[in-house]
Amino acid sequence: MRRTTQSMAASAARSPPAIDRHAVRLITRVSVALAAIATLSLLHLLRHASIHCFPASNPLALTISLAPFPRTSCDAASRRVVPPDRRLAKLRASPRWRRRAVSLATSAFPPLRGLGLLAASSRVLCLAAGAGHAVDALRAVGTRDATGIDLVDFPPLVRRADPHHLPFSDGAFDLVFSDDPSAISGALFAARLASEAERAVRRGGGIALAFDREIETAAVAALFKRSRVVDVKDVTLDGSQLDWLRAIHDTSNCEYF
């Protein structure tokens, strides 16, 4: 009898209580349910991404988004790069581009022709050219040899270059031109930019730069140590009121107005 009692006690000690068995079953069921939910969620995400990124006809080809801005990371990754020529054609068709071209052709270029600084055969360097408005406008009026530079390139009209260290030989251009006032106001070293402009233009060539009216005219004129400032005029370009400095590079006569 004593042995039977001891055997039952040992068996009871080895087997877990009923409540523990129920807890283990519950934990197991919850784990299986969570794993199933996670699997279904992953499958849903994969299927949702494939709908946005891949067309039904060709699951390996990326789609082209018609939205102006990407709405998902997948949408942004699927955008194709627009060729430079096609991008330029779209810009030329925009009203702002056309207005800028008209402003340059009517307000900026005629005085330079009158001073003999701009002709069809002129070699022109455009500083702070941006997307290339001035370059395109110059070519449209017959000055084909126009080069645009900026800190960020914008093919096919603008190449990347530092205006403080122009990658051109001395006297390479007949005219250094900028219709963007940030060429002066945004320059880290305005005196260095002016010196490089004078180096890049030939003797007797011209420098024409727009600058903000808040800047003192005498301060801008004093930047050009080897040029004779012809005049500073008020010009309206595409609705913006700017001052326009025109100078002739002449090392033998450096008188300021």
CATH for 107: 3.40.50.150
Greatest alpha-carbon pair distance for the chain in Å reads 131
Residue 53 sits in the same domain as residue 170: no
What is the SS3 assignment for 203?
Answer: strand
Q: How confident is the model at residue 62 (pLDDT cuts 50, 70, 90)?
A: very low
> What are residue 137's phi and psi, to 5 degrees?
-65, -40
- Which of 25-39, 54-68, 163-177 has the weakest average pLDDT? 54-68
Higher pLDDT, 238 or 57: 238
Q: For residue 166, tell me if it sits in a domain.
A: yes
Q: How confident is the model at residue 254 (pLDDT cuts 50, 70, 90)?
A: very low
Domain limits for position 243: 84-249
Residue 92 sits in the same domain as residue 69: no
Treating both helix axes as pointing N-terminal to C-terminal, what angle do 95-103 and 84-92 enclose, rounded to 10 degrees? 70
Confidence (pLDDT) at 28:
86
Residue 133 sits in the same domain as residue 113: yes
- Asked whether the predicted pLDDT for residue 58 surpasses 50, the reply is no
Residue 62 sits in the same domain as residue 124: no
Q: How confident is the model at residue 184 (pLDDT cuts 50, 70, 90)?
A: very high
Flag whether the pTM goes above 0.95: no
pLDDT, averaged across the chain: 83
Residue 10 sits in the same domain as residue 102: no
Last residue of a domain, one of 26, 49, 77: 77
217 DSSP assignment = H
What's the mean pLDDT in 139-153? 96
Confidence (pLDDT) at 3:
52
* 165 CB-near residues (< 8 Å, 6+ apart): 196
For residue 202, the one-letter residue type is: R
For residue 70, the one-letter residue type is: P
